[in-house]
């Protein structure tokens, strides 16, 4: 059915309707896409709604009534998928459709290259298109059926202007000679494996992890890996399987028996059902026996003390460059990027691609003493120093 006029859209909850949408989408150069999902009480995101728009069409697809695997033909096709802040949507699509778009244009990323800093869709549409977007309820239950007409209209508005925004951003990026930069960034975003958790690294997310020492680290690694696998198998958030407090307590004072395990702080009967006790004790044992070369240690952000003043200098330069170029400073270089370059890491982002000439090479000159920063009265200026 078609509901409303601003925007006009069709609700799709049968295979015939999905097939018609797919047939049209296969012939377009670009299409807009967004998802609504929940994951507060699940390990995997639960897709509740998928919105698609193309010239002449806009549909709301109900994934609770349909298998979305057929949409893989569109995602794998030649059309450019236009999304805003696509990171989590890509994970959702990978699970629901078995693939992600072969070509991606993220309007949030693109907006950063024309002077906006991690903007919301509402702010980009307002600033660049001078069009209002309705404000929705951030706590909407998208799983509930039927969705109200207002909820459907709000969902439709998330894709209504994306293609117009894509065209406007592309025009501005071409004027600035930055379209290829955006394409490179979107490709990195598209191909980054964000949804396959490496379970041996799961302990890095525990708040107390960096303060652990000795065998406690190995125990934390193995217990967190057990928690991650069990959470995935049960489709529950990891904290529902074992709280961080209990994990840290187990790592610091490893229990050897079921009775000792039940005394662990933060651990009650909710977390010790079924084979949980046996699994936890086995994980503790593996952690205690973990060889040093089996430990996955979080990457350090430490830097040679002699180079710390350089970070302050470089940060000032990056901030000035971002202002001069009207680019979000975090797109040019994060603090982590600067540290990675100063540590001469082989995969440092500032030593490859478009960043190398624009940011990396000037930073290298500044740190090596071949250039200096001067204050011109209003701005910082990078000046060559005499040999």
Please tell me which residue in 31, 43, 106, 154 is annotated as part of the active site: 154
Its pTM surpasses 0.85: yes
Please write the tens of the pLDDT for every residue from 166-192: 999 999 999 999 999 999 999 999 998
Between 385 and 15, residue with greater pLDDT: 15
CATH of the structural domain 2-191, one choice from 3.30.70.990, 1.10.10.10, 3.30.420.10, 3.40.50.10740: 3.30.420.10
Q: What is the 3-state composition of the chain as percent helix, strand, coil, each rounded to the nearest 5?
A: 50, 10, 35
Q: What is the pLDDT of residue 214?
A: 93
Residue range 26-30: mean pLDDT, rounded: 98
36 labelled catalytic? yes
Q: What is the pLDDT of residue 135?
A: 75
Please write the tens of the pLDDT for every residue from 273-310: 889 999 999 999 999 999 999 999 887 767 788 888 88
Q: What is the pLDDT of residue 129?
A: 96
At residue 2, does pLDDT exceed 60? no
Q: Assign 3-class secondary structure to 95-164.
A: HHHCCCCCCEEEHHHHHHCCCCCCCCHHHHHHHHHCCCCCCCCCCCCCCCCCCCHHHHHHHHHHHHCHHH
Please write the tens of the pLDDT for every residue from 188-212: 999 986 667 789 999 999 988 888 9
Please write the tens of the pLDDT for every residue from 106-121: 999 999 999 998 889 9
158 labelled catalytic? yes
Domain boundaries, the chain: 2-191, 199-294, 305-384
**How does residue 22 score in pLDDT terms, banded at 50, 70 and 90?**
very high
At residue 132, does pLDDT exceed 90? no
Q: What is the pLDDT of residue 3?
A: 36
34 labelled catalytic? yes
222 labelled catalytic? no
Task: Name the CATH superfamily for 199-294.
Answer: HRDC domain (1.10.150.80)
CA distances from 87 to 26, 83, 120, 294, 307 (A): 23, 9, 14, 31, 33
301 labelled catalytic? no
Same topology, domains 2-191 and 199-294? Answer is: no
CATH number for the domain formed by residue range(s) 305-384: 1.10.150.80
Please tell me which residue in 89, 160, 168, 222 is annotated as part of the active site: 89
Please tell me which residue in 158, 160, 185, 244 is annotated as part of the active site: 158
């Amino acid at each position: 059915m078609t509901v409303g006029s601003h925007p006009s859209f069709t609700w799709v909850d049968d295979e015939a309707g999905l097939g018609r949408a797919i047939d049209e989408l296969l012939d377009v150069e670009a299409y807009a896409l967004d998802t609504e999902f929940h994951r507060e009480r699940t390990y995997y995101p639960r897709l509740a709604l998928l919105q698609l728009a193309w010239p002449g069409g806009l549909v709301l697809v109900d994934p609770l009534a349909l298998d979305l695997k057929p949409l893989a033909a569109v995602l794998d096709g030649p059309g450019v998928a236009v999304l805003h802040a696509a990171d989590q949507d890509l994970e959702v699509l990978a699970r629901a459709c078995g693939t992600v778009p072969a070509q991606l244009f993220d309007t949030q990323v693109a907006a950063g290259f024309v002077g906006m800093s991690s903007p919301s869709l509402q702010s980009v549409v307002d600033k660049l298109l001078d069009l209002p977007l309705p404000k929705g309820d951030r706590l909407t239950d998208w799983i509930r059926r039927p969705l109200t007409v207002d909820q459907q209209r709000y969902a439709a508005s998330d894709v209504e202007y994306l293609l117009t925004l894509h065209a406007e951003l592309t025009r501005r990026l071409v004027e600035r000679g930055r379209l290829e930069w955006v394409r490179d960034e979107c490709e990195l975003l598209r191909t980054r494996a964000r949804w396959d958790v490496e379970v041996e690294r799961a302990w890095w997310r525990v708040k107390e992890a960096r303060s652990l020492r000795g065998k406690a680290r190995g125990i934390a690694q193995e217990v967190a890996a057990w928690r991650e696998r069990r959470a995935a198998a049960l489709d529950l958030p990891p904290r529902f399987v074992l709280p961080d407090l209990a994990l840290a307590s187990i790592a610091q004072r490893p229990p050897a028996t079921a009775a000792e395990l039940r005394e662990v702080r933060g651990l009650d009967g909710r977390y010790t059902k079924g084979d949980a006790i046996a699994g936890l004790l086995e994980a503790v044992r593996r952690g205690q026996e973990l060889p040093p070369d089996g430990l996955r240690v979080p990457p350090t952000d430490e830097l040679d003390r002699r180079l710390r003043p350089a970070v302050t200098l470089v940060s000032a330069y990056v901030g000035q460059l971002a202002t001069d170029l009207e680019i979000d400073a975090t797109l040019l270089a994060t603090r982590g990027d600067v540290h990675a370059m100063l540590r001469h890491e082989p995969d440092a982002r500032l030593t490859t691609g478009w960043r190398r000439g624009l940011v990396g090479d000037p930073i290298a000159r500044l740190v090596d003493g071949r250039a200096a920063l001067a204050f011109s009265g209003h701005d910082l200026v990078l000046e060559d120093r005499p040999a």
